[in-house]
Amino acid sequence: MPESTINTIITAVGSLLGAIIGAAATILAARVKTSTTSTGGSKFPIWGIVIGAFIGACITVSILAVVALSGLFGGGGGDTPPDVGPSTINVYDSFDNSAYDGSINQAAWVVNGDDNMSIYQENGRLVILASTPTDYGALWLTPTNGLQASIQSFNLFEAGFSWDPAVYNKLYLGLTAQHSWTETGTVVYTCDFILTNESSIFHCNGIDGDETTQSTDVSLSSGQTYTIRMEIDPESAVFSTYLNDSLVNTYQPPNPEKWKTEPISYNVHLGTDPLSSGTVYIDDVVFGKK
């Protein structure tokens, strides 16, 4: 209920209380005067006690009404938690809607990639099967509202990842924030799980034309689920990347104005070297504004 309405209710109750007390006091004064004149004394009569009790009851009821109204309409004693405003960060897709099992929610995702990769939802997560017999392969999943976005509107991107241990050759699985990707002017920040049949590492790259900044590799264990969270400061365009809530990389683009003033795209990706295959899983994609 709006605060103005609450104040109006409380004011009305207070006015009622004042009116009751005033009327009772007037009656009491008149009765006392009459009684004193007729009896010649000033002893308080029995009806005075009755009126006093009546006034006390009115005061008690009014106070209880004010307290009850305050607690009910925004005081702090109700069961409803305070309204702290809507959150702009949410789970974009948890892949739990069974209506999309065996496929993908095309209203939520734009999918680009090779025909030799299969992608579908199953058992509450997204499954990608990769098999690239002769050439490099790639698949991008972009949130539909993550196309041509600004870091003022969307600056947090997160997803959970896991994979089967049986990886043949090399896979690249992770998140990308992409300003542009052309032969003459690639501007991108990407963080990958680099998976082989011998080892698994986590690695980030910041690329702006000929300038490349690489992170220190983090060793991983197969059979575990890892969460990548990418945050971008909308004022400085500095990237902060977290692996399972631990900060593992900070990237300062050499030309931050490109990121601050021009649209970018976000995507979940899987890349493969030639003669590579494997199965990876994606879950709980979070996309929003920090």
Report whether pLDDT(13) > 50.
no
Q: What pLDDT does 17 receive?
A: 45
Distance of CA 219 to the CA centre of its chain: 29
How many Å apart are CA 198 and CA 120, to the nearest integer? 27
Q: At what angle do helices 46-72 and 3-39 cross, to 10 degrees?
A: 180
pLDDT digits over 213-228, tens only?
A: 999 999 998 789 999 9
* The two three-digit tokens of residue 126, written as one number: 């997204």
pLDDT digits over 17-56, tens only?
A: 444 544 444 444 444 444 444 444 444 444 444 444 444 4
Write b or e for each residue in 140-178: b if 16 or more Cβ atoms lie within 10 A of its Cβ, otherwise e: bbbbeebeebebeebbbbbbbbbbeeebbbbbbbbbbbb
Find out whether 152 and 234 touch, Cβ atoms under 8 Å: yes
Residues above pLDDT 70, as percent of the chain: 68
Long-range contact list for 76-85, CB < 8 A, 24+ apart? none
Residues written for the chain: 290
Phi, psi of 176 (to 5 degrees): -135, 140
Helix or strand run (H / E) with residue 11: helix 3-39
Report whether pLDDT(186) > 80.
yes
Report whether pLDDT(71) > 80.
no
pLDDT band at 248; cut points 50, 70, 90: very high
Name the most confidently modeled range: 76-85, 158-167, 177-186.
158-167
Find out whether 111 and 140 touch, Cβ atoms under 8 Å: yes
